[in-house]
Homo-oligomer: A and B are copies of this chain.
Amino acid sequence: MKPGTPAEFDADDERQARAAWSALAEPGDRDAHKLVAEVGAVRALRRVLSGAGKARWRVRAPDLNPRRELRTVERFGGRLLIPGDPEWPQEITALGVDTPFCLWVRGPLDLESATRRAAAIVGARACTPYGEYVATDLGDGCALRDVTVVSGAAYGIDGAAHKGALAGGGPTIAVLASGVDRAYPRGHEALIDRIATMGAVVSEVPPGRAPTRLRFVERNRLIAALARVTVVVEAAHHSGARGTAMRAIRMGRPVGAVPGPVTSASSYGCHRLIRDDGAICVTSADEVAELALPMGECLPEPPPPPSDPLHDLGPAERRVVDALPARSPASIGSITRAAGLVESDVVAALTRLADAGLAVEDRAGWRREGVG
């Protein structure tokens, strides 16, 4: 094959044409997405191969080899998903014209059913031990509730959320900015391989591609699109996680943010999301699940804390408790004046308090019992 001539492939095949587009155009290339949406991937590709279309697509045309890339992903036990496939996740269509041409996938998880009850849990790479603890705990809690954890496999919060989900034996999806065969960051190669064994590793760029700044930014829109809610655990001022949350907000999806100490720069982005962007303050896996689960499958409210006997008193009893001495007993007359009630009400209240074990009478009068 001489330079400038595309490798042999069937440009009339929708699958190969979409694979080709994922190589020709960078993620989020609005012109490319629009053209493919308008005329279809096959006709749009034909135009580029015949020398029409944007010059930035034509420069990559000579290197196209979707057949080889499909073979590569299959060698990894992976697959290519395109719109119309039964496994194509319906949640992703919220991206509208920015919907990816295709998804390159490794791992056994069925993307369509897993994303119908999914929460994106994202956050800072440089997180604190607090953030790492909370992300792991939320990941584990989602697993317990069969809520899929979607994240970016980065160091810090992302990795902790995936690890929590894996530890809980729950479904998890890593969305990469690189090809699905190219673990990034390298230090998470084992984690990403394990997600590919238990869950799914997903990318919109073909195998072999390196992550770039642009691909990270656009990858974040996929994370937001593959989950019903995006929860940010820790985020500094400028952060990719905040960007992911803003994409979710623009899609009309709920966004949660985990609060933290106001003295921690790592919680700054979360507090801004709650203050300025309408994010929901999220403090537990129950609250994440409530946002991630389909309507009608919401979890019950957590049980109320055990009750304090003093809290269940009526106003008269409460006044009488206040008026009762703790040590030396008092007469009903003196309790009546101290409580500012009439005597008959005081006597009735004392009887009820004695029944509740909160007041006791001896020969000298009444005193408090059972409470400080």
Contact = CB atoms under 8 A, between A and B. Distances in A.
B55 A323 contact: no
A238 to B, nearest CB: 6
Copies of chain A in the complex = 2
Interface string A231-271: 00000011000000000000000000011111100011001
B261 A260 contact: yes
A288 to B, nearest CB: 11
Contacts of A287: 275
Contacts of A25: 340
Interface string A310-352: 1100010011011100000000000011001111010000000
A35 interface: no
A90 interface: no
Interface stretch (A69-77, A190-198, A277-285): A277-285
A258 B130 CA distance: 17
A167 interface: no
Contacts of A340: 24-26, 29, 56-57, 59-60
A45 interface: no
Contacts of A341: 56, 59
A18 to B, nearest CB: 17
A50 interface: no
Contacts of A345: 56
A125 to B, nearest CB: 13
Given A238-B311, A259-B271, A262-B283, 20 more contacts: A25-B340, A29-B340, A56-B342, A59-B341, A59-B342, A59-B343, A130-B263, A133-B263, A134-B262, A134-B263, A212-B319, A237-B305, A238-B305, A238-B308, A259-B259, A259-B260, A262-B284, A271-B283, A275-B281, A281-B281
22 contacts: A56-B342, A59-B342, A60-B340, A133-B263, A134-B262, A212-B319, A213-B318, A213-B321, A214-B318, A214-B319, A214-B322, A215-B322, A259-B267, A259-B271, A260-B261, A261-B261, A271-B281, A274-B274, A275-B280, A275-B283, A275-B287, A281-B281
The 8 closest A-B pairs by CB, nearest first: A259-B259, A212-B322, A55-B342, A262-B283, A274-B281, A275-B281, A213-B322, A56-B341
